[in-house]
Chain A
């Protein structure tokens, strides 16, 4: 109880700091990724989807989100990771992404959601440019949370299709 309280207190303190943001993290191919929680609209389970003809393979199709047509992107395919069968843990994170001139609502299909962390932005480290992998461009920065490493997504780049 006390530990929890301390933890909460710790978090609250952090939140007072302007630099600190909360990130929702999720798993994909054993790696943990994070998105700014303020961009998250909702988390849904995987559902039947309408395919868009001649779209890139990572665009799985569109769903009806209470009357709005929302495209769903398979993040595995977007990152060039081999696709897996969608299971009970597969979720769609619906995000509101600010692109150049418009705000679009899009969903990303990921293996499973993980946790919410408070992360100070200055703690994030740039992605080392070691490989010429295209995937590096989707990651805005890397942070350590305890023992783990979380890759923070650059949503503008990821969703720019």
Chain B
């Protein structure tokens, strides 16, 4: 019988990646000179688990590399070496390197070891020599007589030791690093071959260790197995001369029975050339799986329970003869069913919701690296990390956000000299904030830098032919220009931003998520980018409307009001555009039947209804024949099997099985030709002003 270790690979990888994330986060908290012991311990423990795990699973490249890293951490932890900024940088780099190694192994590829080897050389330089041989070599010459102690260590593992993923050989070799080690293995407990369970550990050991290290160092080695073994460490006097030869022999012998006793584990561990088979399907598991809090699952189970009860009640009613009384309770039951279904739906959607800290967490590292490169001092503040967001939205949000943060660091924040000259705090601040507002999630990226340079943007826009010199634009309008294609404010193409991926891509990506991005900026004070996104892409509250015999859905969230048109307040602008004066505003009326080319709709204004909607801060009225019901609809893609349709954001299936199309307001405005090319302003506004005067 042998264990197929490969079934644990995925768990190992997941845990290792988590460990690396933890290491990274803690490393970023480390300030050389004032390091917190607990932080270093956390990093050390993470590195140690990765080393142990990778050793067990036979990923020796990872184990070897982590080992040098761990040695350095150990010295820092003990205080025998001071932490420097160089160490932190090197450790961060090795976190990246380890991540790459593990990714490669996870994808069953041969990992590229060049970077690991380079880093290892650096580590070894810092450590002064090959770490493994350091302790024993140093020891004999210097302080042997004075502070050397010999410890007797009795190590009797419980039978299940291997199952917990621990490897005595590793512990023994770690002991050997501490000083001179003599080992005796006891095979008394090993049963005869018929009763021998190969996965159990039957051996026990007695070690005599002569070392200048403290007892705590020894205890540390056994830290991981103290619950799985009986360990006694006692200080004894001198060496026991005569037995020396015998004892050394047993070191060699001991390895052999140990191997026999644990064929599966050792074989996998010592044969790195032959990677154990990993199921191909698990390689991409990362992006397709989701971690869900147990509370969410519990509440789902409750709701399904309620649903089942309601269903049972309804089916019982269905079997009865239909009378007035049963109809009433039937209706009641249906109302309850609707209630349950909605609850269930909301909770199922919540499963897809993850806190935005998943995106935010990558920024401390990014900001650190970039600010070092740019030689700027930056403090990153994260607010509202627990705000929840749909997983799909989150994945697509990451790139635009990285771009915006890079921009803030590169163009927004000034260098230390400039900040001091301007009387500001030399340390710049970048704040990421996120909160819910209505059915949207709002993410703000704020910096207290120099703000957008409107003069420069204007010049650039004129040079690129985006606007003409005579255009009179407000500062806000100028700021908006940076979102136009073919615009980059960087004087020179720098390493960080301005790689041809401009703000227009950011805007396009966010608009593809049916969101919007805006910028507000004050010279010398800073700029704020605001991203607004729908909480989920899968469902929306819709108002069903009728145009001729067609049913369309208008997202409820964009509807401001619906009204009957007072014909006396309508004036005609230009050739064929009607404008309604509504309180103090002029609302252009879009005839949906015209835009969608449907025949048979009511064309006279006073017999139809106007749905006033808002998109991108512009209000327009949509002319419809009738308002139908409101309902939640599941958004289906039209593009999956067809193509993008202008003015339509998607489709859905109504209760009766028919397909209905969802109106895309901003696409509609574009389609109607109301918007001047290259401007957010509606043509109508200038005309309406004329009309009013």
Chain A positions near chain B (C-beta within 8 angstroms): 48, 50-55, 59, 61-64, 67-71, 104-106, 161
Contacts and interface: CB of A to CB of B under 8 A. Distances in A.
Given A53-B597, A64-B653, A105-B641, 5 more contacts: A52-B642, A53-B596, A68-B640, A69-B638, A104-B641
B291 interface: no
Contacts, number: 63
A54 B597 CA distance: 6
B76 to A, nearest CB: 52
A161 B643 CA distance: 9
Interface string B541-553: 0000000001000
B645 A69 contact: no
A48 B641 CA distance: 18
Name the residue in B597, B638, B642 with the highest tally of chain A Cβ atoms < 10 Å from its Cβ.
Answer: B642
Contacts of B642: 52, 59, 62, 69, 71, 104, 106
Taking chain B's interface residues, is the majority helix, strand, or loop, or is none over half, making it mixed? loop
Nearest to A65: B641
A144 B261 CA distance: 73
Interface string B65-89: 0000000000000000000000000
B427 to A, nearest CB: 48
A105 B636 CA distance: 14
Nearest to B654: A64
Given A50-B661, A69-B659, A55 B640 contact: no
B658 A69 contact: no
A54 B636 contact: no
Interface of B: 550, 595-598, 636-638, 640-643, 645-648, 651, 653, 657-661
Nearest to A54: B597
A55 B645 contact: yes
Nearest to A49: B659
Contacts of B598: 51, 53
A39 B596 CA distance: 33
10 contacts: A50-B651, A50-B658, A50-B661, A52-B648, A53-B595, A53-B645, A54-B646, A62-B638, A69-B640, A69-B659
A76 to B, nearest CB: 19
A84 B519 CA distance: 55
Contacts of A161: 643
A100 B53 CA distance: 44
A65 B148 CA distance: 81
B661 A106 contact: no
Contacts of B638: 52, 62, 69
Contacts of B648: 52-53
Given A71-B641, A105-B641, A106-B641, A50 B660 contact: yes
Q: Which 5 A-B pairs have the closest CB atoms?
A: A53-B596, A50-B659, A71-B642, A104-B641, A69-B651
Nearest to B637: A69
Given A62-B659, A64-B658, A64-B659, A51 B550 contact: yes
Contacts of B641: 68-71, 104-106
Nearest to B657: A64
Contacts of A61: 659
A62 B646 contact: no
Given A62-B638, A69-B642, A53 B653 contact: no
A68 B658 contact: no
B370 to A, nearest CB: 35
Nearest to B643: A161
A39 to B, nearest CB: 14
A67 to B, nearest CB: 7
A92 to B, nearest CB: 14
Contacts of A50: 550, 651, 658-661
B656 to A, nearest CB: 10
B342 to A, nearest CB: 19
Contacts of B651: 50, 62, 69
Contacts of A69: 636-638, 640-642, 651, 653, 659
Name the residue in A48, A61, A69 with the highest tally of chain B Cβ atoms < 10 Å from its Cβ.
Answer: A69
A59 B596 CA distance: 14
A71 B648 CA distance: 15
A67 B657 CA distance: 9
A155 to B, nearest CB: 14
Contacts of B597: 53-54
A52 B640 CA distance: 15
A42 to B, nearest CB: 14
A39 B500 CA distance: 42
Contacts of B659: 50, 61-64, 69
Contacts of B653: 64, 67, 69
Contact of A68 (B636, B647, B661): B636
Nearest to B636: A69
Nearest to B547: A53
A54 B658 CA distance: 19
Contacts of A67: 636, 653
